[in-house]
Amino acid sequence: MTTQPLTGFSARVVALPKDDIDTDQIIPARFLTTTTKSNLASALFADWRADATGKPRDDFPLHAPAAIGAELLIAGRNFGCGSSREHAVWALAASGFRGVIALSFADIFRANALKNGVLPIEVGLELHAHLLRAVALDPSLVVTVDLELQSLRLPDGTCATFPIEPFAKRCLLQGVDELGLLLSYLPLIEAHEAARR
């Protein structure tokens, strides 16, 4: 069993430039009573999308006409903090997001994202501010993500690299099935158990 290899993509960007967006905002807990990973798109940012009466808010960035079909989200610092719910990543993926650009990520969110082929793209303050300005000026702007080069390129030629640990990169590029790989360690796992007994 392998997963779909990911080498890169070009996508439009929708901006939600807040810091500390926690996973309770990404998907509120009341949507977690599910036994599948699908059908979570409508739960993404549910409480920010609708007003008190449940009516969709026109001023929510993801509802802007230019945001429809955007496959990259740009947020602030510490994206995905709080609960470990992988549903946050599933909801993003179900909504078509292939990556999140942020100044930093919470540890568990980053791990969950990588396991679902949603790229956590960590950028510096300068590129972050530049990209936010560029997207505000032209919401139809398309940026290009290259995983091999670990780069993010804007149409104006601005290019920045982002960190990704080599193992996760290899798994994504080659579509490595992590569980399959772990299973190959079973003899060593059993030896470890025997040694500690």
* Residue 18 found at the interface with other proteins (CB under 8 A): yes
CA–CA gap between residue 78 and residue 87 (Å, rounded): 18
CB 118 within 8 A of CB 97: yes
* Residue 154 found at the interface with other proteins (CB under 8 A): no
- The token pair that represents 40 in the structure block: 């979570």
CA-wise closest residue to 170 among 178, 179, 161, 162:
178
Binder to other proteins among 83, 92, 99, 172 (CB under 8 A)?
Answer: 83
CA–CA gap between residue 4 and residue 193 (Å, rounded): 33
Residue 78's CB is within 10 A of a number of other CB atoms, namely: 18
Segment near other proteins (CB under 8 A), from 64-72, 110-118, 132-140, 155-163? 110-118
Alpha helix (H) residue ranges in 35-165: 46-49, 87-94, 107-115, 125-137
> Binding string, 40-59, against other proteins, x = CB under 8 A?
-------x----x-------
Q: How far is the CB of 45 from other proteins (least distance, A)?
A: 11
User: Between residues 4 and 33, which has the closer beta carbon with respect to other proteins?
Assistant: 33
The binding site for other proteins (CB under 8 A) comprises: 1, 18-20, 22, 24-25, 28-30, 32-37, 47, 52, 76-78, 81-86, 89, 104, 106-108, 111-112, 115-116, 165-167, 170, 178-179, 181-183, 185-186, 188-189, 192-193, 196
